[in-house]
Amino acid sequence: MGSIFVIQGILIYIYGFDHNPPHIHVKSGDGEFTITIKDRIIEGRTKAKVVQLINQFIDEHETELMEIWDKAQRGEKIDKVKR
């Protein structure tokens, strides 16, 4: 799947049939990591400013991210969200 969100050049992905807990994959020029949507556990490395930006994004879009996560886990097509 391609990125579903792009924020300041940072790519955010949600993969179908991925493992729990619900999380997003983040790729930037500073690294790659995953972060859980609810409790914000991070696996991987990046700069603190990227984590701060992604946490703010999750705060603003948590409901939408969980809806996309649920769709992806059912195998439904996920379209890129334009911002």
Position 82 pLDDT exceeds 70: no
Q: Is residue 79 part of a domain?
A: no
Residue 51 has φ and ψ, to the nearest 5°, of -60, -40
- Identify the H or E element spanning 58: helix 48-73
Q: Is residue 55 part of a domain?
A: yes
- Distances in Å between the Cα of 7 and the Cα atoms of 20, 23, 74, 78 are 24, 17, 26, 18
Q: How many CB atoms lie within 10 A of CB 38?
A: 12
Q: Is residue 82 part of a domain?
A: no
- Domain range for 21 is 5-73
Write down the pTM of the prediction.
Answer: 0.92
pLDDT of the residue at 81 = 75
pLDDT in tens, 26-54: 999 999 999 999 999 999 999 999 999 99
| Spatial distance between the Cα atoms of 80 and 17, rounded to a whole number of angstroms | 17
pLDDT in tens, 55-76: 999 999 999 999 999 999 999 9
Q: Is residue 42 part of a domain?
A: yes
How many domains does the chain contain in total?
Answer: 1
Q: Is residue 68 part of a domain?
A: yes
